[in-house]
Amino acid sequence: MSSTKRLSKAERRNRRIRIGICVVAIVVLLLIAAVLFFQRQVRRNFATNDQNVLSANVSTGSISTTVSGSGALVSDGITETTIPAGVKIKKVYVEEGAPVKEGDILASVDAASVLAALSDVQQELDALDKQLADVSDEEVDSTIKTFIKGRVKAIFAEEGDDVASVMYENGALILLSLDGYMAVDLQSAAYSVGDSVDVTASDGTIYTGTVEKATAEKTTILISDDGPSYQDRVTVGDSDSGTLYIHEELKIIGYAGTVESIKVSENSSVSASSKLLTLTDTSYSANYDSILKQRKDLEAKLQTLIKLYQNGAILAPISGNIDSVSYKEDSAGTGTQNASTYGSVTADVSAVVSSQKDESVLLSIDPGKKMTVSISVDETDVLSLAVGQEVSVTVESIGDDKYTGTVTEIDTSTASSSGGVTTYAATITLDRAEKMLAGMTASASIVIEGRDNALLLPDDAVRRTSSSAYVYTTHDESTGELGGMVEVKVGISNGNYVEILEGLKEGDTVYYTEPRNNGFGNFGGGMPGGMPGGMPGGMPGGMPGNMPGNMPGGRNTSGNSGGMGFPGN
């Protein structure tokens, strides 16, 4: 039999209470120690001494905001040299990368094929000349009439106007009202068919109107077309309003010629066969103009073939370097292509030649004078750009030199979206410098806003809220307190400096806490009284997550989220 004295129920309860009190005391001591440690760490991290409190004087200088981007350099002004349809190439004398001067021989041609092409073009010209003769007597009627009576309600044409232009802009030369009524639609259901209402024009004239149609969504009211103006804004009754239109409209149209005179006026009544307009320059019909344009194109082609026949070769139209050679031997191997650089030219008459039924590209020449780079511009900045703006360009692979370019195109018709951000393309053109090559990466910087003689402060010295900005103008070295808060109005910022518009003058001194990242997170900016703004980011949260379990008395007290378990019965 055990000699251990069994504790009574009351003694066991008292023992558990004492143990619980001890646990509580230990936890309280731990909390006090944590608070003291935290306070000491705060004082250590935010003691306002010469190392973490900075001062700055308001100075005068220049500041600007920029749009930056990068892209690959592309040669600009590349010119394609073509082979006329039907012309046979005998030999190509240049290869990619070779330098050429204007007038150098690029490829020799077969003279017989050039003569055949000339004959074909001349036949096409003869055919067009016959067509021109057939249509040269065609004329647009010099008088425009109406073949139905009505009232003139709108005249879009003026004397001297081109008929086609007026039609493009307005869809008609004149508008006639045929049934004697103007109409106005109201978004109202307060009327019934047949109701008589007052319609007041913008000049104050009152007309009597009649409800023609009435539905749950729309009411149509008619008034006489004698007097009211087309598209006048009218008031119906006391408050409803709408725009007058022609109830039954006839468009007077045309397609060629120039308006010489207008025979009618707005609101005049016209009868059938009345003259409305007279025209001049009606002898050239649209068909005539189309054929004439085709003939001019053939004339240019004929001139090219004549020069080609005289030279016996295709010559370089500009000086530069061969960018690419597009001409290929045909699949049967009937073409002859010399890949050597330009040198002595010997006509290889015996060589088998190749030709194309359609005009094709022989090669392209890079003049080597200009280059372009396309950069992506954020949607928030694209409206700040304009064609002609100066651009600073650097090409890191060839050095730190800065080159001056110009914005030559802003493409807002095509957008690119990524990660919720929309961008547009801007093209920059610059002079080609030595060592610049197509494909090199260029960085561009465009000044979109700038100020000279602006009051400036370091951006870190200005504290901002959602609605204002302020600075501190005093610093107590003994207490570390920042004070003398002054509200300021800021202008543009480049990320390093900010423009001060109001609140300070040149030479004023401001104080600010140096941004730093400490063990508790990022404490930025001093609050009045020296307490740095923002709570520490690394503050331990909550009570210990797991208190020891299996306390005496048999109760499992594993804690959750800092929860405390006390002994139970």
Q: What is the number of other CB atoms lying within 10 angstroms of the CB of residue 366?
A: 21
Q: What is the pLDDT of residues 176-211, one digit of tens each?
A: 999 999 999 998 888 889 999 999 999 999 999 999
> Would you say residue 50 has pLDDT above 60?
no
Domain assignment present for 124 = yes
SS3 sequence, 501-552? EECCCCCCEEEEECCEEECCEEECCECHHHCECCCCCCCCCCCCCCCCCCEC
Residues 6+ apart with CB under 8 A from 91: 107, 108, 336, 337, 338, 348, 351
Share of the chain above pLDDT 70, in %: 80
pTM of the model as a whole: 0.50
pLDDT digits (tens, 9 = 90+) for 99-114: 999 999 999 999 999 9
Q: Are residues 225 and 162 in the same domain?
A: yes
More confident of the two residues 564 and 31 = 31
Q: Are residues 150 and 267 in the same domain?
A: yes
49 within some domain: no
- Asked if 378 and 504 sit in the same domain, the reply is no
| Same domain assignment for residues 150 and 268 | yes
Q: How confident is the model at residue 357 (pLDDT cuts 50, 70, 90)?
A: low
Per-residue pLDDT at 397 exceeds 50 = yes
Considering the domain architecture, whether residues 170 and 155 belong to the same structural domain is answered as yes
User: Which segment of 284-293, 378-387, 450-459, 514-523 scores lowest on mean pLDDT?
Assistant: 514-523
**Helices 111-135 and 286-311, packing angle to 10 deg:** 160
Give the pLDDT mean for 540-567. Answer: 37
pLDDT tens by residue, 133-168: 777 666 667 899 998 999 999 999 999 999 989 998
State the Cα–Cα distance between residues 128 and 297, nearest whole angstrom: 11
pLDDT-based confidence at residue 412 (cuts at 50, 70, 90): confident
What is the pLDDT at residue 414?
84
Report pLDDT for 14.
80
What SS3 class is residue 58?
coil
Instruction: State how many domains the chain has.
Output: 4
CATH number of the domain that 458 lies in?
Answer: 2.40.420.20
In the predicted model, is pLDDT for residue 2 greater than 50? no
Statement to judge: residues 423 and 502 lie in one domain: no
Instruction: Give the residue carrying structure tokens 């085709």.
Output: 294
In a domain, 536, yes or no: no
- The confidence band for 255, taking pLDDT boundaries of 50, 70 and 90, is confident
Across residues 457-465, what is the average pLDDT? Answer: 93
Task: Examine the domain organization and report whether 268 and 193 are in the same domain.
Answer: yes
CA torsion through residues 502, 503, 505, 509, sign = negative
pLDDT value for 286? 59
pLDDT over 50 (residue 338):
no
pLDDT tens-digit profile of 219-241?
Answer: 999 999 999 999 999 999 888 99
- Verify that 276 and 150 share a domain, yes or no: yes
Give residue-wise pLDDT tens across range 274-291: 999 999 877 655 577 788
Name the residue range of residue 109's domain.
Answer: 81-138+285-324
Same domain, 207 and 106: no
Q: Which of residues 231, 254, 284 is at a domain's end?
A: 284
C-beta atoms surrounding 87 within 10 Å: 27
110 shares a domain with 206:
no
Greater confidence (350 vs 104) lies with: 104
Q: pLDDT grade, residue 45 (50/70/90)?
A: low
